[in-house]
C-alpha cells in the first residue's frame, strides 16, 4: 500500500531520502528496459536506457553523499512505497524494436514527469530547506530535459520507422 507524503511536514532528511529513492527507482527501471530491448547496435534504444540508468545512479549517489554529509547514518524513514513512478519511465513503454528516438522520448517524458512532481510538491512544502532542495531538483529536471532534447536533435528527423524496421542501424528512425 502506498504511503502518503505530507509535504507540509517533510524534513530535509526525509526529502533527501525521498529524492534518493526517486533516482533509484528510475535507475532500476532503466536497467529493466535495457534488458528488455536488448542491444543490437551502437546508439540503439538499449544504449539510451543504459546511459539513462548511469545518469540516474550518478544523481542518486550525489544525493546520498549530501544526505550523509548532513545527517550521517541517521535512519531512513521514507520507503519506496511512497513513490508512484515519480521519475521512473512508465512500465508499458519499452518494446524490443524501439528506435533510439523512441527511447529518448521515454526518457524525456520521465524527466518531465519528475519536474511536475517537484513543482506540485512545492505548493505544499513549508520547510525552507526542503523548499530549496525541491527547487534545485526541479531545476535539475529541467536541465535533464534540455540535455535529452539536445541529444534527440542529433537523431534523424521524421517519423520513426515501422517496428520491424527499427532494428536496422541507419534506418530513418534510428
pLDDT in tens, the chain (174 residues): 345 788 999 999 999 999 999 999 999 999 999 999 988 888 889 999 999 999 999 999 999 999 999 999 999 989 887 777 787 777 888 888 888 999 999 999 999 999 999 999 999 999 999 999 999 999 999 999 999 999 999 887 655 555 555 544 444 444
> Is residue 126, in this structure, part of any structural domain at all?
yes
> Is residue 145, in this structure, part of any structural domain at all?
yes
CATH number for the domain harbouring residue 132: 1.20.1260.10
> pTM of the full predicted structure?
0.85
Number of domains composing the chain: 1
Determine the pLDDT at residue 33: 93
Q: How many CA atoms lie within 13 A of 4 on its CB side?
A: 3
> Is residue 158, in this structure, part of any structural domain at all?
no
Which residues, at least 6 apart from 120, have a Cβ–Cβ distance to it below 8 Å?
none
Determine the pLDDT at residue 164: 52
Determine the pLDDT at residue 1: 35
> Is residue 170, in this structure, part of any structural domain at all?
no
Q: Which of 91, 137, 93, 129 is nearest to 111 (CA)?
A: 137
> Is residue 105, in this structure, part of any structural domain at all?
yes
> Is residue 172, in this structure, part of any structural domain at all?
no
Q: Which three cell numbers stand for residue 28?
A: 532500476
Which residues form the domain of 39? 7-76+94-153
Residue 55, H or E segment: helix 45-71
CA distance 115 to 137: 8
CA distance 8 to 15: 11
> Is residue 1, in this structure, part of any structural domain at all?
no
> Is residue 35, in this structure, part of any structural domain at all?
yes
Amino acid at each position: 500500500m502506498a504511503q502518503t507524503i505530507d509535504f507540509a511536514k517533510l524534513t530535509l532528511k526525509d526529502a533527501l531520502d525521498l529524492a534518493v529513492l526517486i533516482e533509484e527507482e528510475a535507475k532500476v527501471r532503466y536497467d529493466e528496459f535495457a534488458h528488455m530491448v536488448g542491444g543490437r547496435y551502437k546508439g540503439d534504444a538499449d544504449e539510451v536506457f543504459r546511459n539513462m540508468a548511469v545518469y540516474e545512479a550518478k544523481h542518486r549517489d550525489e544525493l546520498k553523499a549530501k544526505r550523509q554529509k548532513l545527517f550521517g547514518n541517521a535512519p531512513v524513514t521514507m520507503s519506496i512505497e511512497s513513490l508512484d513512478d515519480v521519475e521512473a519511465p512508465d512500465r508499458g513503454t519499452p518494446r524490443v524494436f524501439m528506435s533510439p528516438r523512441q527511447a529518448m522520448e521515454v526518457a524525456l517524458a520521465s524527466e518531465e514527469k519528475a519536474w511536475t512532481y517537484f513543482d506540485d510538491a512545492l505548493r505544499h512544502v513549508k520547510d525552507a530547506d526542503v523548499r530549496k532542495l525541491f527547487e534545485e531538483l526541479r531545476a535539475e529536471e529541467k536541465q535533464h530535459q534540455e540535455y535529452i532534447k539536445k541529444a534527440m536533435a542529433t537523431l534523424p528527423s521524421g517519423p520513426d520507422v515501422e517496428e520491424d524496421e527499427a532494428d536496422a542501424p541507419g534506418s530513418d528512425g534510428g
